[in-house]
């Protein structure tokens, strides 16, 4: 079934654009709902998952500890005693992939982030979009959105982007920010969110999905 993945630099507006696209197409948006589903499977609160975009190492450690206590199939038995074996990062990634698989079973889906563009790279009927903006624009947006000073905004933008870059490189051997991995690259430094959404909808139309 048709699927659109939207990857985004932090504070580029990718999530907002995804919501606009889903609304205009009448498709299901898997964004915060995706976080809820990962949290449900991992036995974490949604806030804990949402706090750690694309799993920087500290999030991996917390998720592993939570899953060790909530996923019996990940226990390793030794004699009559069950020894808790915290899952490897690869096992954690497989949980996320399972959630992606669940998402694309919907008839038509707009899926935001979580490495979906890399995991679904070879899937037919999938349009991959990458939303970017100049770093200075994103820093200003982060300052306004999070009510933080410039130094903290710079650190936030760079850390979250690096976490997303590292996640895709480590688990899929792909470059998260390589434009050749996407069908569309949209710059919200020069295009409005509405215009970006229009372009994505038009791409879906050209694919024959509408």
Between 14-18, 22-26, 57-61, 170-174, the lowest mean confidence (pLDDT) is in 57-61
pTM: 0.79
pLDDT of residue 105: 81
> 171 near 118, Cβ under 8 Å?
yes
Q: Burial, 7: exposed, middle or buried (Cβ in 10 Å; 0-12, 13-18, 19+)?
A: buried
Rounded CA-CA distance 72/85 in Å is 10
Average pLDDT over residues 152-173: 93
> Which tens digits make up the pLDDT trace of 37-54?
666 666 666 666 665 545
3-state secondary structure of 60: helix
What are the start-end ranges of the E strands in the chain?
A: 3-8, 28-30, 76-78, 81-83, 109-112, 126-132, 184-187
pLDDT at 52: 52
CATH 1.10.3720.10 for domain 3-55+89-206, yes or no, is no
Pick from 5-9, 72-76, 108-112, 175-179: least confident? 72-76
């Amino acid at each position: 079934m048709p699927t659109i993945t939207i990857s985004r630099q932090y504070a580029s507006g990718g999530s907002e654009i995804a919501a606009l696209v889903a609304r205009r197409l009448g498709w299901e948006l898997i964004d915060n709902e995706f976080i809820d589903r990962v949290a449900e499977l991992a036995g974490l609160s949604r806030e804990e998952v949402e706090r750690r975009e694309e799993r920087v190492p500290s999030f991996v450690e917390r998720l592993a500890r939570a899953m060790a206590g909530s996923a019996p199939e990940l226990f390793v038995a030794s004699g009559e005693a069950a020894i808790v074996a915290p899952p490897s990062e690869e096992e954690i990634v497989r949980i996320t992939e399972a959630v992606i698989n669940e998402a694309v079973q919907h008839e038509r889906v707009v899926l935001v982030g979580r490495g979906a563009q890399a995991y679904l790279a070879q899937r037919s009927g999938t349009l991959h979009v990458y939303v970017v903006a100049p770093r200075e624009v994103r820093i200003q947006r982060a300052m306004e959105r999070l009510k933080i000073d410039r130094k903290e905004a710079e650190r936030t933008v760079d850390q979250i982007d690096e976490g997303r870059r590292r996640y895709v490189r480590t688990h899929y051997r792909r470059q998260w920010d390589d434009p050749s991995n996407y069908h569309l690259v949209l710059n919200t430094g020069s295009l409005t969110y509405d215009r970006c959404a229009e372009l994505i909808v038009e791409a879906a139309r050209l694919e024959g999905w509408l």
